Structures are given as structure tokens and as C-alpha cells.
Structure 1
Amino acid sequence: MKVSLKWLSELVDVPADLKELCDRLDLTGTGVEGVDTVGQALDRVVTAQVVSMEPHPDSDHMQVCMVDVGAHHQDEDGRPVPLQVVCGAQNFKAGDHVVTALEGAVLPGDFKIKKSKKRGVVSYGMNCSASELGLNSDHEGIMILPDDAPIGVPFAEYQGLADTVLDLEITPNRPDCLSMAGMAREVGAMYRVPVTYPLHELQEDASLDSAESQVSVKIADSGRCRRYTARVIDDVKVGPSPQWLAERITAAGARPVNNVVDVTNYILFLFGQPLHAFDFHTVAGSDGRADVSVRPATEGEELTTLDGEKRRLMPDMTVIAASGRAVALAGVMGGLDTEISEGTTKVLLEAATFDRSHTSRTSRNLGLISESSLRYERTVDDNPIADYAAMAAALIAEVTGGSVAPGMVDVWPERTVAPELRMRMERFRRMIGASISVEEAADILERLDCQVSQTEEGVLTVVPPTCRPDLAREIDLYEEVLRLWGMDRVQPSLPASPGRVGSRTPAQLLRDKVNTALRATGLNETVTYSLADVADMQRLRMQGEGWGAPVELLNPMSADQGAMRQTLMGGLLRSVAYNQNHGVPNVQLYEVGTVFAAREGSKRPRERQKVAGVLAGCMAEASWNASACAFDFFDAKGAVEALLRELAVAKARFRALDADAAPHLQPGRAAEVLAGGTVLGWVGELHPLAVAAFDAQPAVAAFELDLAALSSVSRPAREYRDVPVFPEVSIDVAFVVNEDVTHERLEQCLSSAGGKLLDGVRLFDVYRDERRLGAGRKSMAYALTYRAADRTLTSEEVEKAHARLVKKVCGATGAEVRA
């Protein structure tokens, strides 16, 4: 809801500190979604005077005007000179004071004023009508100001249009706050200041026939309509609203229509009571009487609503009928053929309250949400309807020159009665943890228009106002007192928990270790959206078996968030691209999050926790003594190894993946991560096509591991090994093998052949030379460490063990020892 502070300040003293007011509203449960300064929309719109006007040389209705706009248009010497404006209006003359929009102005409706040619004559601005300025619906001619109006003054300043409008989020349980009066009551209660409401005294014309003699009302089902009232205003003249009324309607976020409709909207925004005005003659029968009934719609019944749409109705919908036909959708919108028009001379004014559930279903089934339906859906109080109808009738008579017929038709089959609640102060204090006196609590509730009395010690008897349907239980009173007293004033305290010991779950401990290990490698944690584009898997080249089917949304917020993510890579690559496009080439990120995949025959998708990381660019920029070294496969592999070491994963290994098994990775730079026989995930350099699909720059090294698999193979602590007591013996050996023999294969053979005496294996050189080694051959040199745990090895023991190792390795791999 939009709340004009200028309007609100007429009802209650509004604090001068806008930020403090917004903060206080937030604390009391009314969220401030935005603050708009009205008047800024009329920037470069100024008061002016028409100096001269001549007929357009190529038009019989346009005039070429020279308009004095003060200092807003100057010659080369800085002296004010008139501005040329081509205008088609006929209601002004030379010497009149007008409102002119200069080049660059943006009028309501996003209408931009530009330098333009009108039939060959250049126009540098526009003389404005009241409707073009958003003040009312009068568009018959330009707006003429009084003769004493200044020249060259911003129009918003001259007209006093400067205002601050708060865009408030009103929760569904607070229908009373969907009005200026309700917000005034709220602010008055917050700051302990009085609230005044505008009054318009109704003067009925005794010479007219009474409303009861002209209108009859019948309610077919009191469950659909709790109360219906009707008044008649005769001799009205429909036209533009006075400026004050148009300003109020505009400030509330609506568009002025005419003086009758604007009054109904004014009462709606002021008190939260929807009204509807019918052209009396369109609902009256041949006898001149209007026989109104509130009934369910009949199957197949049709109604053309005010928006021009013909709508097919259902029995669950409630209609207002006259002369046997539907003329309005109760609580939602009126009918087109009974609307107030320029020819209307007599008005039938409806003020009623309709059932919230029927209104809500009607509004949503037809896709027709209005200001009225929003309020009826949240409940409209039936008790003050007669007062609001009287005030609206008085205003309509005032702005249209009409007369109000005596009396009011009032059908009220069921009256809303407020409950009587007991508030036990001792229980209240124990529950909220603050010491609030009986007097303070009573004062707060009375400021909210509750009737409060104390019938017994420490107990308040409270009757809330009928406009507060949310105050139905004792606990609701607790909330009201606490939110206005100040929840921020309650001192925090830990709940008593004797004999209870808290601890972190294994999953939480695992995640902590993952975060610690990856941050230690230089990666930064990030969080990306769980929603992804359906096409992400195709862009990543991850389609096929093993990834599952996407979980698509029935009603996505946007096209690029139409499914739940199946991998963390899409979001991480978007983060890489964002950083690179903003001048940050070196990106090291990781994320721990949930991925989703649909399962055939199951309503719920499969959810898995994964950890993924990306490395793009370099670890550090080039310096005078070192060049920049781009991230590659081994950097990502090193991060994974650091993580596995932190989790004490035994028998971790990496197995090469071919292009068919991992199309999303660069061939030859892709590996599967395993621990024993358990697959943990993958690591490698992402395929350039996958990287380019997300507008990122290659190369990008990455990895993605399954947290459940990691949890199953991780250990709470690493195996303890004492500091060696006996010395080691180191021997270097180089094996010449075929290209298809991997380091993993050789390392396995060395470890197996070395037995208990082989303490360490380290690859330190790979050499290729077709002339010396032969085609398809390579030399792999290892540093081997021999050590015994209980003695110092002799040279004979080491030589014997080493010779046995070389023989077994050569036999198993076809290797030759390089001299």
C-alpha cells in the first residue's frame, strides 16, 4: 500500500526523521518496501507565460507560441529569451500563465518531451494539460494558472506537490492498515500522539423522495454479504475532480477518473471501505425504482466488467443484480453498462461488505484483482459502513453540485461482534521475558482503539475494535503490546536447559573440514542460485546417463531459472564470467550446495550435497622475478588432494577419463576421483566449449565431489606415525616404458614389489626422446626410499630388495631400466 506522508500528516503528527519512522514501522511489523519522492516526476516542468502566439503556417488548429520560461531558456549572453512551443489547444491566449514541460522532462506515463518538428515547425517543449500532469482527467485544454503565478518556477514547488510516499508491505492479517486512517491509528499508537479523522457533514435534501422509496435491496445469502447499504444522490454533474481530491487519488497510486468515482476511491484509500457508484437510471426498472439483489451468479451468466472484458460467471461467484440482470461482480468490479459517465445525473451509491473467500476465489479465477478485492479478501468491517456511506454521499454532493436523498437503505442480516478477551499479565510477562506494567499494557491497547478494563488483579478485560479481526485470542494481545512496546527492548537470554549437552552433527563437522581445507588452498566460498536454466546441462556438455533428468518448475520466475540445478558448475561458471567481465581475471571459488535430479516413478527428486570448485586465471600476477603461471589440471587436483588429506581419506587415487566418459572436460586433462572402489567425483580442465557457453574465458580448472561419498570414506583422524628412528636409504631409478603405461600403474607395481622395506615412492622426471628411447616410449625416474622400522638396513639388504623390485616391475610392465 502507498501512504502519502503529506496526507498522513493531516491525520496524525508524523516524525520529521523519515529513516527513524521507516525503522520503527519495520520493527512493528509493517515493512517499508520503498520510499518515493513525489514531485521529482515533474522535473523540468515549470510555470510560464505565453508572450505571443501565431497561427501555424501549415495547420488550421495549431499555434506557434513564444513562451517565457524564465532562466530555463537563455541566449548566448545568458539573458532569458522566450521558448518556441507548438501547441494545438484552443483555450488560451497571449498573456496567460501556463505550465510548460521543457525538453528532457518525463511526464506521468513515461511520456518523454523531446525537441520535435510539427508540420515543419520546431517545438522545444509542450504546454501541458492537467491530465498530462497526472492531476485529474481534464484534457480539454492546457492548464491555465492565476495571473499572479510566478514565471520559471518548478511546477511541483509552485503547486505544493512535493510529497514523500511510502510503499508499505501490509500482511494479510492486518486489513485495518490498508487505509490512511488505519495507518494514522498505527502511527499514533507508536508515538503516543492523537489521531484526527476528516469529517464531512451530510445535508439531506428533504424535497427529494427518500432512498427507501427509490431503492430496494435483497440479500439472498447472508453468508456472502453481511451488510449492504444504498444511498441516492440526484442532480449530479460529472466532471473532473477538484485539485485536492485528484492529488489524494494520485498520491495513493491510482488514476483520477471523474469526481464521482474519485470520491469512492478517496473513501476506499482513507478508510479502507470499498464503495461502488452506479448510474441510477441504468439499474432502475421501468417504474423508476432500483430493485437490487445480492445473489449467486447463475451458470453461464455473463457480465462485461469496467475493463471492457466479457466474463463468464459461475455459481460460486457473487453478483449485484438489478432488474433481473447482473450489473457488478460483488467485491471485485462493476459492470461496464452501469458505470458513471459524463451523462450521469443520478447516482446509486453502494457500501457493503462481502465474504472474503468468495471474493478471493472470484478474483483469482477471473484473474481480476482490484483495490476493492484486495480489501474484501482480508475482511472489511461491517459496523462503520453507514458512516462511510454518509461521508461519501456528502462529498459527492459537494464536488458535483448534487443533492442527497433522505435516508439510506440498510440490510444488515448479521452484525460482527467483537470478542471479549482476558489478558493475564503474569502469564504475559513470563512468555515474553520482559517486565511490562499493567498500566503500560492498557495504554498501548487503548491507543489501538481497544476497550480495556481491569476486573481483577493482574487481569485486563479487552474488547478489540471490529476492524481488527486478527485480535481473536489472548496471545494476539500479547503480540500487540510487545510489538508497540518494542521487541528490541527485550533483553536476550538463553533458555534453561539443565542436563542437556549440545553437539554438532557429523554432517556439520564434515562441512567445517571441507571449508577449512578449501580455504587453506586459496579458494573463496560463494553461494549461487539453486534455480538454473534448463539448458545449462547442455551448455556444460553434461547430458547423458548418470546426471538424471532435470526437475523443471511449473511456474518459473524467469526463463533462465526454469529448473533446479543438477550441478554446481553452472552457477560457478557464471560467477567466473561475472568477475572476468568486471576486470577480475584471477578467480578461485568453491561452493557447497544441493543438486537435484528427477527420479522416474517418484514424486520427490533426488537431492545430493556436493562440493565444487573452479580456478581461472593465475595464482598471482607476474613479478620482476617470476612469471604468471596459469591454473591447470594439477592445481585443481592439488586442491582435491588437500581436501582428501584433511578428511583422512585412505587409498585415494585418480583414474584418467576419456572424452566419451567426460565430454565436459578437456581430453587428456580429466580424471575420476576414487577412494578404494568408491567414486567421489571428478577433476579436470573444463572443455573450452562449455566455458564459452557461459561467456567465461578458458582455461578453467574445476572439480566436483559428492559429500555423501566423502563422508563414507573419511575418517575422524589420520593414522598416527611416529618420527622415524632409523636412517633411510635413497636410490634413484629410471624405467623406460611404453606411452600407455601410467604413473598410477608404475606406482602400484613399485609399492607392491617393494614390500615392507619400501618407505616412499616419488616421481621426479619424465623424459621422451625418439632417437634415444624409441618411438612411443618414455622414461619415468623415481626416487625410492628404503627404511626398516626396527633396525638400520645394511647395503646388502637394500641391494637385494631393490634388485627384486626392479625385476618385478620390469616383468609386470615391460619396462627397461635406463642406464
Structure 2
Amino acid sequence: MKVSLKWLKRYVDLDETPEELAASLTLLGFEVDDMETTGVPQLENVVVGEVLQRDQHPDADKLGVCRVDCGPEAGEKSIVCGASNYKVGDRVVVALPGAELPGGFKIKPSKLRGVPSDGMMCGASEIGAGNDNSGLLILEDRPETGTPINKVLTDSDTVFNLEVTPNRPDCLSHIGIARELAAWYRRDIKYPEVNDIPAESDRVSGADVFQGVEVSAEEDCPLYLASVIKGVKIGPSPKWLQEALSSIGLRPINNVVDVTNFVLHECGNPMHAFDARDIAGGKIIVRNAGEGEAMTTLDGEERKLSSRMLVISDEEKALAVAGVMGGQNSEVKNDTTDLVLEVAYFRPSTIRWVSKKLALSTDSSYRFERGVDPLSLRYASERAISLILETAGGKLCTNGVKVGTEPVSETEIKITPEWVRKKSGFDISNEEIREAWELLDMKVSVDSEGEWTVSVPSYRGDLFRPVDLLEEVLRIYGTDKIPGGAVRATATTASDSPITQFNRKCSSYLIGQNFAETVTYTLRSAEEQRRWAGHVSAEELALLNPISEDQTQLRHSLLPGMLEVLHLNQSRKTGANRFFETGRVFRELNGKIVEMVAVAFLECNAGTERTWKEKSYDDFYAAKERVKTLASYAGIDLGKFKIREVSENEGAWQEGHSAAYEEPKAGFFVRVGLMSLPRIKEMDIQGEVFGGIFCYLPERLREPKRIKFKPFSLFPASSRDLAIVVDQSEPAEEVVRTLNKIASKAAKGFEVENVSAFDIYEGTGVPEGKKSIAISMSFRALDRTLKDKEVNKAFETIQSNVREKSPYSIRD
């Protein structure tokens, strides 16, 4: 927000330099992004002088030697000057020794061609008063000699560009900032007086141009004020008003519009003036827009509205988007004579939603969506009426309207000074505490038990807890005055959170596997979500208030963003084709949308490098083992869960080449394998992409079991093979899991070291719809060499249990 120093001085006496004010504003909590000085800057030792005598320089034809009266304090000075546009008796600008002019030019006693010169007479460009460098600046108004030049040339100004935090809408105005500086410097605040509003008996009837206000959306518009002014004359604003608006970057338009803009930036109250003849039926209606209703706003854009948006309308059409921008169909024009002035309070959340939805942010919406003081509406309305009557003439009418009541906005907070001292950590007196609050326009009362009640003004809606009042004490007392103390930090032995540890382990593992880490946006586009996750998921994950059109949904998976990274690297021919990412995804689980911890990886087998040796790439089995390793870092052994083939309706994965693990009760989700070839082709990615993703509910993330040393056997293993006939649809991994359980129970006194599938056969000798899986089982004892007799006995038990206790049969 831009704040003019010259404008601020209307409300509080400020003698400090712009740099000092910038430092004070920063300490008050308002960061000064930059300062811009216009006109004559603050200049020390630069005064008004009068030329008393002018002689020719003895050694230079173009120089004159002048005797100049510089006022009672400086006296007369002898100054050598090269200008020729002045004469004896002229009042001029004199920079005395010790002055520093713009550009860092310092004035000191000197000699010019052997003649002493005790200062310098200045032109306009030399003091920053313009670009004229043709001669001296002659002061035609003949101010008193010795007067500091800044009291004569008062057009100079400094404009601060401030960062005002969202919780301080009261400071989105010059009066708001002036209140803060008045409290900081312990000075009085001077509110503009409004004492020239005509009495009711001096007003005229406006019934012929305005019939009243109807509010049908009371929840969104609790208070609406309308005033009628007849007989105004539209024209340019007075110079002071134009200069005030121009100083903060606003373009003057006409006297009425300029007044509404001035009051907005003076008081922080947005308002709008309607041309009364454009209000059909003479009646203003505050209502919700019709679904699809259109109107053209002042910026020339046609806006499509929804039923959730609030509009100001007449009996036929919408006149303005409430709290955001007026319409072209009722703006003040050069021939406008009758006005309806609107000042209202709108619910902040409504204006915030409308502004975001229309992608339209204005000075009005910026203030309304943060909260305007409802008790300030009457004053702001009268201030605007007063200025309109002053600058545009006209008569105030008797049919002004107030609809609704002011929402409750004043707060009382109980607190004690002892609590303030305890929380602040240093000794501060009761008087200093009370002074800080009273300087900020708060009223303090003390009961018989020593408890204080602080009444917060209506414009400070950010103060509602004792700790808020503590912050105000520290601000006004001065954070720079807080005494220093020893820093005491308690050491902690707590470990990082389980999520941080999980992400670190996954990253370390995948980086070691030559994967490059990516970081992509959590918010994705609706089109991407529909393509990769389906329409239902896209709707479920849609944001109510997206920040941009390409970031409207929470992401369903990490992989689409990583595929974009892969495509970018392929197009740049970087050679990078292995990527991973850790982050959060959002999925439906047990009927609810949940946030899950996720890690994903992918590898593309399109060779982009010319090499003498063919490179090897991941296949399904390599990707599956990799995702098992990642799951183990969350304490999950995927080998204990059933695996299934992905179905054709899971569009992100290629059917027949991808698999899924999922266990809602355990709170995890896994997909692994070949990614959809049509989708990969749509993205113009060359080659096949194998990948995997592991998602887990963060509240169920647990520390994996610590790996303990297990003695290894020095004796040889004994192995047996077995052919199992199963359904063609049965996963080999499920068969291995079942055989491992059966073998572990059958082995007595030794261990089943390994059970694995090494061959799959379909054809002659195997029934139709079945397949034969060859299983190898390895046995080993820790303390001896196994004998064939004990291994055969265990093997026979295994075969018996397979026939009797499993759905499988043994191939003879």
C-alpha cells in the first residue's frame, strides 16, 4: 500500500525525516518495501536569500560576485555565481556551507578564481525542484529571508510502499497509519472534522430521483447506507485533491469519483457513487446475482456471475459487483447532476470468494475482504458528502437511507499487568502498560481485585485474546528497548518425525540406485486429474477457491508430475531417465478423502545416449522389488499381502504388465509396473516407462523393526523341487507365499532358507485353464549337515499338506 508523507501530516504532526519514519514503521510492524521522494527533498542549511549587491568578477567575464542577505541567523554572505537571470533585489535559494544537495553534492567555503565564496545560489534542478537548469530559481512570492526552503517549496513528498499484514485492515488507510505513528511518537491524532453537513431543514427532497434501498441478502450485507445529492456539477478536482491522489499513483478522473477514492485511502472505507438517472425505478436492490447473469464492469470486461455472488442492482439490471467494482451502466458521467452515494459493510468471506472467482482484485475488494470497521461507515459517508458538496456543489437530500444495523465489533478483554510482565520476560511498569493501550485508543478500567478490563475499538478486529494485547504493549513500548538476556536453549534428544525419517531413507536408497529427485506442485490441473485418476477423483479433489486455472485440484499421485519432468528432460536431451519424488498425495480410503505420505519412482527405457554397449533397464520384477524395499522403510512387508493384477479401468497402468497391493485396514496403497502406453504416447514420451508408487497414512507410519544379527550356517544346504498345478490366474508370488508357510511348519530342527519359483509351464500334460509352477525349496541347519532322511521326511510332509490343506495339486 502506498502512503504519502504529505498526506499523513494532515492527521499527525511529523517532523522526522523519511528515513526515521521508515524505521519507526518497521518497528511498528509495517515493512517498508521502498520509498520514493518527489519534489524538493528535506534539505538542511538551504534557505531564502536576497541579492543585495552584484559586481563583476575581476578575473572571469561570466561570473558575478554577490552580497546576499540570508536572514537573521546566517547574516550576509559573499557568493560567486555564474548565472545571469537574476538582479539585485531578487529572492533566491541559497545553500549555505554544510548543506548537502541531491546527488551528494556538499557545500563548503571555497574560492572561485581567487574570490572567496561562502555558499551557492541554486537553480531548480540543483535542489530537486524540477529539470530547469537555465539559471537561478527566482522566488516570485518573496518569502522572508532565512526561511528554510522546505517551508517555501512544499510540493515535495515522500511516498512509502508498505506491507500491511492481512490482520490489520485498519491500517489500509492514511488515518490508520497516522494513528500508529501518533501512538509511537506520543502525539495527538487529528481527525478531519465534518461539521458542514446541512441540517435536515436545509436539505431538499430527492424523492423524484431515488425511492430507497431493499436488501434481500442481509447475511452478506448487514449494513447499507445510501445518500442522495442533487444538482452537482461534474468537473476537474481541485489541485490539492488531484495532487493527493497522484502522489499514491491514482489517476484523477473527476471531482466526485476523486472524492470517493480520496475517502477510501483516507479512512479505509470503499464507497461508490451512482448516476441516479441510471437507477431503473429509482430503487437500489442488494441481492444475489442470477446464475449466469452478465454485467460489464468499469474496466470494460463483461463478467459472468453466479448465484453466490452479491450485486447492487436496480429493478432491471445489476449496477455493480458488490464490494468489488461498479458497472459501466451507472458510472458518473460528465453530464451527471444527481448522485446516489453508497457506503456499506459486506461480509469479508463473501467478497473474498467473489474476488477470487472473478480474478478481480480492486482497492475496494482488498479492504472489504479483510474487514472494514462497520462503526466507521457513518463518518466516512459524511466525510465524502462534505467533500462532494465542497468540490462539486449540489444539495444534500432528505431521503438518505440506512438499512440494517452495525455488526457487533467491539471487544472487552480481561488481563492483569502481572501476566503481561510474566509473558514478556522483563519488568515493565503498570503505567507503561496502560499508556501503550491508551495510546492505541483502548480504554482501560481496573476492578477492586486488580484485574484490568481493556475495551478494544471497533476497528481493531484482530485483538480478541490477552496475548494480542501483550503484542500491542511490546509494539508501542518498542521491541528495540527490550533488555537483552542470556539465551537458554534446552537440548533435546528427540528423533526426527517418522515421516521425515521415512522420506530420508527412501531418498537415500533411490539416490543410491542412480535416481534423480524431483519436486513438483501439489496442486494439479483438472484435465490432468481426469486423465490419470478419472472424473470421480477429479471432482472429489477439486479446490473451492483455486489460485489459478492450472492448479485446481489436489494431486492424486506423484507420477504425472514426474512424467512431465521426464518429458522435459527428453526434449532437452539431458540423458536423465530415472526419477523419484517424496511428498503428499490425496486419495479416497474407506469412503473418505485422506492425505497420504507417498514415494514414487520411474524409469524410461528409451535410450537417448549413443553408446557402444547396450544399457539394461528396469522391468516389472525390478520395479516390484524396489517398491518392496520402499515399503519396508514404513515397517510394511509387502510379501505378506496379496498381489493382484491391475484392471483395465485403472488408466494410469498397462493391464497385464502392472500389479497392485492394497490393504485399507493397514492404510497403504501400492501400484507398480508398466505405465499406460497410450497415456505415455499422449505426453510425447519416447519408450516404455516402468514405475511404482507407495502411499501410506501418516498416522500409521511406524519405525521398521531393527535388523538384528543372525548367525549364518557354515554347513551346506539341501534343496528339493516341486511342480505345483494352479489356476492360470493365480499369481506365482501367492503360490510361493503359501508353500513357504507349509514348508516352515514341516521343517523340524532346521530352517527353510528359501522358497522360490523358477519355471512356469502351460501346455501338454497340464489341464486347460491351469499352469504348472516349478518351486525350489532350500533347507539348511545352523549346527550340522542335513541328512537326506530328515530332509525327505520334511519334503513328504510338505507334499501331503499341499494336497490336503491347499487349493493346489502336485504335478506328477
TM-score relative to the length of structure 2: 0.55
1:153-192 equivalences in 2 (<5 Å): 163=159, 165-166=161-162, 168-171=164-167, 174-189=168-183, 191-192=184-185
> How far, CA to CA, are the matches of 2:227 and 2:535 in structure 1?
68
CA distances 1:129-169 after superposition (whole Å, capped 9, x unpaired): xxxxxxxxxxxxxxxx9996989xxxxxxx98995534645
- Whole-Å separation in 2 of the counterparts to 1:318 and 1:806: 80
Query: Which of 491, 507, 510 lines up with 1:521 in the alignment?
Result: 510
- 1:717 to 2:705 alignment: yes
- Asked if 2 retains the 8 angstrom alpha-carbon contact of 1:750 and 1:805, the reply is no
Is 1:445 equivalent to 2:437 in the alignment? Answer: yes
Distance 1:594 1:418 in 2: 43
In 1, the alpha carbon distance for the partners of 2:352 and 2:600 equals 50
Change (3 A) 1:567 1:231: closer
Looking at structure 2, the residues matched to 364 and 806 of structure 1 have their Cα atoms a distance apart, in angstroms, of 71
What SS does structure 1 have at the residue aligned with 2:19?
coil
Aligned counterpart, 1:665: 653
Cα–Cα, structure 1 residues 228 and 571, in superposed 2: closer, same or farther, change >3 Å?
closer
Paired residue total: 640
The amino acid of 1:569's aligned partner reads L
The answer to whether the 8 A contact 2:723-2:811 is kept is no
Q: 1:702: which partner in 2?
A: 691
Q: Out of 637, 653, 668, which is 2:624 matched to?
A: 637
In the alignment, which of 261, 271, 280 is matched to residue 265 of structure 1?
Answer: 261
Q: 1:481/1:628 Cα in 2 relative to 1: closer, same or farther (>3 Å)?
A: farther
Change (3 A) 1:390 1:361: closer
Instruction: Provide closer, same or farther for how the CA distance between residues 792 and 297 of structure 1 changes in structure 2, counting only shifts above 3 A.
Output: closer
Q: Measured at CA, do residues 480 and 221 of structure 1 come closer, stay the same or move farther in structure 2, by a change above 3 Å?
A: farther
Question: Measured at CA, do residues 195 and 492 of structure 1 come closer, stay the same or move farther in structure 2, by a change above 3 Å?
Answer: farther
Cα deviations by residue, 1:92-141 (Å, 9 ceiling, x for unpaired): xxxxxxxxxxxxxxxxxxxxxxxxxxxxxxxxxxxxxxxxxxxxxxxxxx
Say which SS state the counterpart of residue 691 (structure 2) adopts: strand
Q: 1:427 aligns with which of 419, 429, 432?
A: 419
Alpha-carbon distance change, 232 to 690 in structure 1, aligned in 2, over 3 angstroms:
closer
**Is 1:787 matched with 2:780?**
yes
Structure 1 position 274, deviation (Å): 5.7
SS of the aligned residue for 1:215 comes to: coil
Change (3 A) 1:718 1:364: closer
Aligned mates of 1:480, 1:767 — CA distance in 2: 77
Answer whether contact 1:665 1:684 (CA < 8 A) is retained.
Answer: yes
- Indicate whether 1:248 and 2:244 are aligned: yes
Say if 2:718 and 2:791, in contact at 8 Å, map to a contact too: no
Residue number in structure 2 paired with 1:98 = none
In the superposition, relative to structure 1, how do residues 267 and 570 fare at CA in structure 2: closer, same or farther (>3 Å)? same
Distance (Å, rounded) in 2 between the aligned partners of 1:409 and 1:335: 22
The within-5 A match list for 1:194-593 is: 194=187, 212-215=201-204, 238-242=234-238, 244-250=240-246, 252=248, 254-273=250-269, 341-343=333-335, 378-380=371-373, 389=382, 393=386, 397=390, 423-430=415-422, 435-450=427-442, 467-468=459-460, 477-482=469-474, 484-485=476-477, 509=498, 512-513=501-502, 515-517=504-506, 519-522=508-511, 531-536=523-528, 539-540=531-532, 550-552=540-542, 556-577=546-567, 583=574, 585-593=576-584
2:637 to 626, 642, 649: 649
Q: CA deviation at 1:177?
A: 1.9
- State whether structure 2 residue 671 is matched by structure 1 residue 682: yes
Tell me by how many angstroms 1:266 deviates.
1.4
Deviation at 1:257, TM superposition (A): 1.7
Aligned-residue offset at 1:687: 2.7
Contact 1:360 1:373 in 2 (8 A): no
1:727 and 2:705 aligned: no
Q: CA 1:627–1:192 in structure 2 vs 1: closer, same or farther (change >3 Å)?
A: farther
Once residues 328 and 611 of structure 2 are traced to their aligned partners in structure 1, the CA distance between those partners, rounded to angstroms, is 80
Q: Is the 8 A contact 1:517 1:643 kept in 2?
A: yes
Do 2:4 and 2:158's aligned partners in 1 also have CA atoms closer than 8 Å? Answer: no
The sequence identity of aligned pairs, in percent, is 25
The reply on whether 1:16 has 2:19 as its aligned counterpart is yes
Inter-partner Cα distance in structure 1 for 2:339 and 2:265: 20
Give CA-to-partner distance per residue, 1:416-449, whole Å, 9 cap, x none. Answer: 9988876521233345665433233233223323
Higher mean displacement: 438-447 or 729-738? 729-738
Query: In 2 relative to 1, CA 765–484 (structure 1 residues): closer, same or farther, beyond 3 Å?
Result: farther
Q: Is the 8 A contact 1:36 1:165 kept in 2?
A: yes
Specify every segment of 5 or more residues in structure 2 that has no aligned partner in the other structure, as ranges: 39-128, 136-154, 290-294, 762-770, 803-807
- Return closer, same or farther for 1:305/1:485 CA change in 2, 3 Å cut-off: farther
Distance 1:310 1:762 in 2: 69
Q: Which residue in 2 is equivalent to 1:92?
A: none
> How far has the Cα of 1:613 moved from its partner?
0.8
Measure, in 1, the Cα distance between the counterparts of 2:783 and 2:303. 97
Q: Alpha-carbon deviations, 1:686-743, whole Å to 9, x = none?
A: 133323445555443222335369969x9963786741355224779999999x9997
List alignment gaps of at least 5 residues for structure 1.
40-144, 152-158, 284-292, 769-777
- Name the CA shift for 1:736/1:19 in 2 (closer, same or farther; >3 Å): farther
CA distance in 2, matches of 1:403, 1:255: 24
Amino acid at match of 2:178: A
CA spacing shift, 1:408–1:455, aligned 2, 3 Å? farther
Q: In the superposition, relative to structure 1, how do residues 813 and 662 fare at CA in structure 2: closer, same or farther (>3 Å)?
A: farther
Moved more, 682-691 or 470-479: 470-479
Matched, 1:691 2:683: no
Following the alignment from structure 1 to structure 2, what is the Cα–Cα distance between the partners of residues 261 and 693? Answer: 54
**8 Å CA contact 2:672, 2:691 repeated in 1:** yes
In the TM superposition, 1:33-112 aligns within 5 A as none
Q: Aligned pair in 2 of structure 1 residues 196, 661: CA closer, same or farther (>3 Å)?
A: closer
Q: How far apart are the structure 1 equivalents of 2:739 and 2:312?
A: 89
Query: Contact conserved, 2:172 with 2:265, CA < 8 A, in 1?
Result: yes
CA RMSD between the two structures: 7.2
CA shift digits 1:294-326 (9 cap, x unpaired): 9988999xxx999699999x9xx99999xxxx9
**1:616 corresponds to:** 603
Contact conserved, 2:233 with 2:394, CA < 8 A, in 1?
A: no
DSSP-derived class of the 1:614 partner: strand
CA distance in 1 between counterparts of 2:624 and 2:37 reads 58
Counterpart code for 2:586? V
Q: Is residue 587–residue 596 contact of structure 2 (8 Å, CA) maintained in 1?
A: no
CA contact (8 A) 1:422 1:459 kept: yes
Partner-residue secondary structure (3-state), 1:702: strand
Asked if the contact 1:2/1:168 (under 8 Å) is kept, the reply is no
| 2:557 is the counterpart of 1:607 | no
Distance 1:17 1:782, change over 3 A: farther
Q: 1:4/1:648 Cα in 2 relative to 1: closer, same or farther (>3 Å)?
A: same
